[in-house]
Amino acid sequence: MAEPIIKRTAETDFTGQTALILAAERLFAEGGIEGVALRQINQAANQKNISAAHYHFGSREGLVQAVLAYRLPELDRRRGELLQRNVDAKDVRFYLEAFIAPLAEELAPREGGNHYLRFIQQYEKYRGDYAFVRRISPWGVEIYAGLERLLYYIPEEVRRLRVGYLINMIHSVLATAEERLEKGELSHGEIPVIAVNAVDMFAAALSAPLSADTIRQLSVR
């Protein structure tokens, strides 16, 4: 399948492909990627053509990739800016800040609401094409690589587990914040504290020393 080329438009453009992408992002976030029928997305996007989603994107997977292609390039651009900061040391916190800050920025007030963090959390449960994600987010790939380089002293098996779980946990924390924002249980002014505290927590988790139990488990494998 050819990769979708999606031109990012104003969030207030609720027509055509953009309307379908925004409707898909919201419905997939709320109901799961496999729990929403394409006809529901057509209806939510106010499309007269009942096959509009299939016409524009070919399939469910094509529509999922279109949502990613709509959001990820700008998010990745911000990560690139943060990775190119002039700092004294590119430590674990440096890479975590570059990963987390752009995601937290996705929680800024937006007409139509915020749904991307819950969408990406659902994507992690879906049989998604991570090769596609890596192609359109090269700075995200560099963050993973940078963290692995810094954690070279941790056995590879544990290092890969930590980095993998880390991404899931970051998305979970921010997806929960997104949902609480929607319910009015959280204010936008609280997001910066949540973001910087996430950096604190995950930096400690990534670099935590191995326990005697973990070392023993590794030795018997």
Tens-level pLDDT at each residue, the chain (221 residues): 344 444 454 454 556 899 999 999 999 999 999 999 999 999 999 988 888 999 999 999 999 999 999 999 999 999 999 999 999 889 999 999 999 999 999 999 988 899 999 999 999 999 777 899 999 999 999 999 999 999 999 999 999 999 989 989 999 999 999 999 999 999 999 999 999 999 999 999 999 999 999 999 988 87
For the stretch 141-145, contacts whose Cβ atoms lie closer than 8 Å and that sit 24 or more positions apart, written own/partner, are 142/83, 143/79, 143/83, 143/95, 143/98, 143/99
Q: Is residue 68 part of a domain?
A: yes
The total number of structural domains that make up the chain: 1
The rounded distance, in Å, linking the Cα atoms of 93 and 119 is 26
Whichever domain contains 94, its CATH number is: 1.10.357.10
The rounded distance, in Å, linking the Cα atoms of 185 and 200 is 23
Q: Which residues contact 25 (CB under 8 A, 6 or more apart)?
A: 67, 70, 71, 115, 116, 119
Place of tokens 């609280």: 190
Q: Is residue 139 part of a domain?
A: yes
What is this structure's pTM?
0.88
Q: Is residue 140 part of a domain?
A: yes
Determine the structural domain holding residue 73 and report its residue range: 16-208
Q: Is residue 1 part of a domain?
A: no
Q: Is residue 5 part of a domain?
A: no
Q: Is residue 81 part of a domain?
A: yes
Q: Is residue 9 part of a domain?
A: no
Give the per-residue pLDDT at 92. 96
The residue among 20, 133, 151 whose CA lies nearest residue 75 is 133
Give the per-residue pLDDT at 220. 84
Name the residue type at position 143. Answer: I
Q: Is residue 215 part of a domain?
A: no
